[in-house]
Amino acid sequence: MKRSIKMLFGLSIILFLFSKNALGINVQLKQEDIDYAIKKGVEHGKDIFKSPDLKHACINYWPRQGGILVRSKFVDLTVSTAMWFNEGQEVSVREIKEIISSPYLKVQVRTKDDVIILLRQGEKIIKQVNIDYEDPCCELCKFDGGNRYDHDFVTSNFLYSNLDPNAKAIIIVKGPYREREYNIDLSRIK
């Protein structure tokens, strides 16, 4: 009887540890994760934000104005693949390497306002390392960080090393007129 209880207890610990690693943002994408992200990007194309794999990364009716997208490496690769596929092209090897080697979790807000994006986990406030202002019609935005006064998206970059990618967090968006908070469970994002 004691032996079966010990065995059951040991098995439950092993299952817990494996499930903890299976859930949440994967900071180091394996080749199978990369292949899966590319497959999903091609498969969903223009409907990429309706994909079950991205459901938990889209907040507040993304991609509508005021929406938020939490761009982990997996989400970033899936969305980039879908965008290139919609243009009739494939995502480049250079872009794949750039995405998977990024040290940042990106939080993107669709807004024309000048906003500050922060993350809070428990009592810890996590500040962005840098911020990009993007206008999808402007090719220069990719090179110079965009124009703070004329943009459609604001993206804040947070170092993975400063946060727990398997925990709950609060996204704080400080705008010129108000501050909004959004609860998010990072463990539900790939």
pLDDT value of residue 3? 52
Predicted pLDDT of residue 140: 43
For residue 144, is pLDDT > 60?
no
Query: Within 13 Å of residue 77, how many CA atoms lie on the same side as its CB?
Result: 30
Q: Tell me the pLDDT of the chain averaged across its residues.
A: 83
As a whole number, mean pLDDT of residues 69-95 equals 92
Q: 51: how many CB neighbours lie within 10 A of its CB?
A: 19
Domain limits, the chain? 26-188
What is the pTM assigned to this prediction? 0.80
The pLDDT value given to residue 170: 96
**List of residues 6+ apart from 187 with CB closer than 8 A:** 23, 24, 25, 165, 166, 167, 168
Read off the pLDDT of residues 114-143 as tens digits, 9 standing for 90 and up.
Answer: 899 999 999 999 999 999 888 766 544 444
**pLDDT tens digits for range 9-59:** 444 444 443 433 445 688 889 999 999 999 999 999 888 888 899 999 999
